[in-house]
Amino acid sequence: MGSAVETLCGQAYGAHRYDMLGIYFQRAAIVLALVGLPMTVLYTFSYPILLLLGEPEMVSYMGSLYIVGLMPQIFAYAVNFTAQKFLQAQSVVRPSAYISAAALFLQISLTWMTINVMGFGLMGIAYVLTISWWVIVMAQILYITSSQKFRHTWTGLSWRSFHGLWSFFKLSIGSAVMICLEMWYSQILVLLAGLLKEPALSLDSLSICMSVSALSFMVSVGFNAAASVRTSNELGAGNPKSALFSTWTATSVSFVISLAEALAVIASRDYISYIFTSDADVAKAVSDLCPFLAVTIILNGIQPVLSGVAVGCGWQTFVAYVNVGCYYIVGIPIGCILGFTFNFQAKGIWTGMIGGTLMQTLILLYVTYRTDWDKEVEKARKRLDMWDDKKEPLQN
């Protein structure tokens, strides 16, 4: 849901409406925190929910302990995500990276102490994760409120952040649906693999492939953020040609990098699995799946960048509809038919899901190519006018 603030902050910064960035930041944090309240109810009753889903009693009990320990993390993430987008809209990324690196070091140290010295076990790990997230949040807030760099974009707490929360919530729904459908899609592949003839081998091999894919995907996530920021900034500034140039530059560079990654996977297909396992059967299965992994990596070099462009333009709801059609009406059904009916097993499931991703990528490419960027500039101006309100601040 937080990617709505990505659109608004990016376009407001490009349009030099600097005071609105802090308002959007606060408004998004409030909305996400309110959405987190019903999630805490689910976390609280995680034990009976896990039992209802058929998990063993001990697994349900231990899982519920871990989940309850993560409850405060929900609200930390609500602030952290919006703070990141507030900073990214202004092309400020290094401080977040430094803060995250320091928090990672702290988390590793505290986890070791919690497990080996204090003996808190699983519950301790959950608390350490929560503490780490709140350390990140406090460091980001301290940086934003104390740095002179943000004197124009952060003007303090304001009543304006409470204005139009319901409208902001509705704007965020499209963002949530778009991102959730993308995230769940790859997870469904692993779930379906558990229903195949040799579930253990299929799950092991697919898990390794998904780990490699996730690693390469992080590069695309970086280009996703860059494309979103540059596109939204240029649209807000009224520069349609620059927005177009940023879009195709980010997409082209990401594609070239993903192509190199795919070639590296193919070249090391017989050896790459040994980073994760010493089992020869799993290694053979991974080698057989590497061509599918390579195609996935290439598509993941394009699709996330175009999704970033969509966020920069405010197309989240449209992309959500595209994701439903391509992923869940085309990709998964075809994958199930090929995997189970035609007995192609994991290769069949993955082929269908690649088909869904390819279809989505082609649609986004076509829409982006056909976009009238002058109209997008006008839409950005109207969007900012609609969300620009003036009320008294809480503090001066």
For residues 6-21, give the mean pLDDT: 92
Predicted confidence at residue 390, as pLDDT, reads: 53
Asked whether residue 111 is domain-assigned, the answer is yes
Domain co-membership, 192 together with 48: no
Q: Are 125 and 196 in the same domain? A: no
41 and 113 co-located in one domain: yes
Calpha distance 236→162 (Å, rounded): 24
Residue 293 lies in a domain: yes
51 and 136 together in one domain: yes
Q: Does residue 239 sit in the same domain as residue 324? A: yes
Q: Are 24 and 162 in contact (CB under 8 A)?
A: no
Asked if residue 160 is part of any domain, the answer here is: no
Task: Specify whether 52 is located in the same domain as 181.
Answer: no
CA atoms of 2 and 108, how far apart (whole Å): 28
> Structure tokens of 62?
């231990």
Q: Are residues 196 and 345 in the same domain?
A: yes
| Residues 256 and 265 sit within 8 Å (Cβ to Cβ) | no
- Which pLDDT belongs to residue 4? 81
pLDDT, position 208: 92
Residue 5 placed within a domain: no
CB 61 within 8 A of CB 47: yes
Would you list the DSSP string of 289-340? Answer: HHHHHHHHHHHHTTHHHHHHHHHHHT-HHHHHHHHIIIIIIIIHHHHHIIII
Do 222 and 286 belong to one domain? yes
Please, what is the average pLDDT of the chain? 90
Q: Are residues 187 and 134 in the same domain?
A: no
As for how many domains the chain has, the answer is: 2
| Domain termination site, one of 105, 125, 152 | 152
In this structure, the answer to whether residues 190 and 47 fall within a common structural domain is no
Higher-confidence residue of 125 and 375: namely 375
**In a domain? residue 6:** no
- The pLDDT of residue 304 is 93
Residues 147 and 212 in one domain: no
- Cβ atoms of residues 58 and 115 within 8 Å: no
Alpha-carbon Rg of the chain, whole angstroms? Answer: 22
Question: What is the chain's length?
Answer: 396
Digit-coded pLDDT (tens) for 54-93: 777 887 888 888 888 889 999 999 999 999 999 999 999 9
CA–CA dist 304, 73 (Å, integer): 26
The verdict on residue 309 lying in a domain is yes
Instruction: Please tell me whether residue 215 adopts helix, strand or coil conformation.
Output: helix
Q: Would 163 be classed as within a structural domain? A: no
In-domain check, residue 158? no
CB under 8 Å to 3, separation ≥6 — which residues?
85, 172, 175, 178, 179, 311, 316
Q: Assign 386 a pLDDT band (cuts: 50, 70, 90).
A: confident
Which residue among 89, 118, 152 closes a domain? Answer: 152
At 271 the pLDDT is 93
> What is the model's pLDDT at position 393?
43
Distance CA 136, CA 221 (A): 20
Is residue 391's pLDDT more than 70?
A: no
Q: Please indicate, yes or no, whether residues 85 and 219 belong to a single structural domain of this protein.
A: no
* pLDDT attached to residue 238: 96
Which domain, by its residues, includes 61?
19-152
